[in-house]
A and B are shown apart, each in its own frame.
Chain A
Amino acid sequence: MSERSPVITARALTKRYGKTRVVDAIDFTVERGEIFGLLGPNGAGKTTTILMMLGLTEVSGGDVQVLGHNPAREPLAVKRRVGYLPDMVGFYDHLTARENLAYTARLMGIPAGERQTRVAESLARVRLADVAERNVSTFSRGMRQRLGLAEILMKKAEIAILDEPTSGLDPQSTVEFLDMIRSLKAEGVTVLLSSHLLDQVQRICDRVALFQSGRIVLLGTVPDLARQVLGGGFVVEVEAVPAPKTELESRLRAVPGVTAVERVGEDRYRLTADRDVRPEAARAVVAADGALHRLSVEEPSLEAIYTRFFQNQAPERQGVRDAA
């Protein structure tokens, strides 16, 4: 990342409905050109945060700046430069894909001369060119999702906000769609996406913010979060048959960096370490005359971070609720 400048800044951003705080004083910044993930269970405040960034719902407290504008006061300036793909996006079923895009192109204020070419280009980029003249009512969920992405491409948006872009897609469409999101990033578009599907987000996000009942409880890159939450961070699995009458477990435990060794099978050991200790572990096995069958490292998964975090939090959260 060459230049680091925030394109979205939220400070103590709050949304209340009556007494309930749907979004509770969250702070975050999104840098230009990164893919930023908003994660969390349904109802944690992700969509509300997105709508506040677009000026589509009022802010109850705090402040959010998008590309230097306040979306509540200058919504048109924000919406001209930000593309939004809503959760379960809908189109006018009785119109064709091209007509649907032509309508939004006019709303975007794209000059008449450019409209046709930009619609055609964006449809081609999401591979919908050959169904451009078909009614959207015949489209599958994945095709609608791609049509929504075509709209953002057509807009030449600087920020693309995607709300649950892959939920309800089959695995192949998901992979395709994630590729398209990556190509957005390659063009320098900042992508902000919300999801409850953790492994997908992990695959493409540079940084993530973990939402829980209206608050951001964790924020950072996935490896950072792993160190923060999982402690050791790296889990290395060793499958090796030791030479007769040698003890492998204690030798593995002696490898520098390893914090714990667990025997999970006949000849399988799981090492928890603060870094990738595969070379040292291999050396240890060989030094003990053992036969090394398999050596693998588990990437710290968001899923594990997430589960572990909420396990750790459970008693604490109880306390917070009682205090409130």
Chain B
Amino acid sequence: MRREGSPWQGLGTVVLKELADHMSSARMLVLELLIILTAGASVYTAIANLKETTAEDPFLLLKLFTVDRAPLPSFVAILGFLIPLMAIGLGFDAINGEHNRRTMSRILAQPIYRDALLAGKFLAGLATLAINLLCLWLLVVGFGVLLLGVPPGGEEIARSLTFLAMTLAYAGVWLAMAMLLSIVFRSPATAALVALGIWLFLTVLWPMLSPAVAELIAPPDIRSQLLGIPSLPTLEWRQALERLSPNTLYAEVVLAILSPSTRALGPVFLSQLQGAVVGAPLPLGESLMLAWPQAVGLIAGTIVLFVAGYVVFQRQEVRA
């Protein structure tokens, strides 16, 4: 049976209101400062490093994002770590906050569907992240042009913008996850804690656990035991398991997009390297092809988590 009216009625209103809330909230201010300070420091040391080593690299701008110098990690590593935090900060009290403020039933008594409220909140969070990422990107590029004195080329811009879009997809996964938790748990504190727990597990523990789990599933054979290197099935399992974490997917996408000389994201055999000029950059289209499965994984993860939240939210009782 079809519902009467459009599910998007009121969507724009909700998006604008939530966007205004996000932009003016103290929470966002703190997160923005955190990211700008750490990322600024990392870009600054990257520039110092680049000035010393090379002025010959054809992708100098991309190096800005990826070069690191101890003790600071690279700009992308910092983003990979802090973007989830920002997304969780935007989403963990999206729905349960409305219940707790007792605004939910009043808002839903207006002529809108629940779809508009949920999608509006998600889009507003995504827009907030996009605006922040774009500002950050402009800062980094501007910084680089000023201090390195080399204008970026067209392909560099295209690659770094692709990187920006992929970062947004990665942020989307965490935003959708945080919103799902805000629907499932009635207390924002619980939702935030669970989200942070998942974040820590996937970024810190999972990379350590997956090799062990891979060896359990595919035990190393005698040859690999003698050589002291993992066998091919173990290696494949390990990679498959690691790719369950959005962080791994994001790191691989970034590697393929920002380091044009990357030719494969899995194990490579000697036979495959025949005729290849190692270290020569791939064209943008080829790099995109390389990163495509991972990118699809991130986008699909966002959609699946959002749909899960949508289903739970539609069936939820309005009264607290």
A-to-B contact residues, CB < 8 Å: 47, 51, 54, 56-57, 73-77, 79-80, 82-86, 88-94, 103-104, 106-109, 148, 151
Contacts and interface: CB of A to CB of B under 8 A. Distances in A.
B112 A107 contact: yes
Contacts of B52: none
Nearest to A84: B109
A77 B9 CA distance: 13
Given A91-B103, A92-B103, A104 B113 contact: no
B157 to A, nearest CB: 38
B4 A73 contact: yes
B106 A73 contact: no
B118 to A, nearest CB: 14
B110 A104 contact: yes
B318 A57 contact: yes
B5 A89 contact: no
A51 B318 contact: yes
B111 A80 contact: yes
Contact of B17 (A77, A83, A103): A103
Contact of A88 (B9, B102, B107): B102
Q: Interface size for chain B: under 10, 10 to 19, 20 to 34, or 35 or more residues?
A: 20 to 34
Contacts of A74: 4-5
B10 interface: yes
Contact of B109 (A79, A103, A109): A79
B319 A107 contact: no
Contacts, number: 79
A229 B101 CA distance: 42
A107 B10 contact: yes
A54 B111 CA distance: 10
A51 B17 CA distance: 26
Interface of B: 1, 3-5, 9-10, 13-14, 17, 21, 101-103, 105-113, 317-319
Contact of B106 (A51, A75, A80, A84): A84
Contacts of B4: 73-77
A76 B111 contact: yes
Contacts of B108: 56
Per CB-CB distance, the 6 closest pairs between chain A and chain B, nearest first, are A90-B102, A84-B109, A76-B5, A107-B110, A106-B13, A86-B105
Contact of A90 (B103, B112, B318): B103
A57 B4 CA distance: 17
Contacts of A47: 319
B103 A56 contact: no
A104 B102 contact: no
A57 B104 CA distance: 13
Nearest to B317: A57
A79 B102 contact: no
B319 to A, nearest CB: 6
B207 to A, nearest CB: 40
A151 B106 contact: yes
Contacts of A104: 106-107, 110
B102 A108 contact: no
A90 B317 CA distance: 17
B3 A73 contact: yes
Nearest to A100: B103
A90 to B, nearest CB: 3
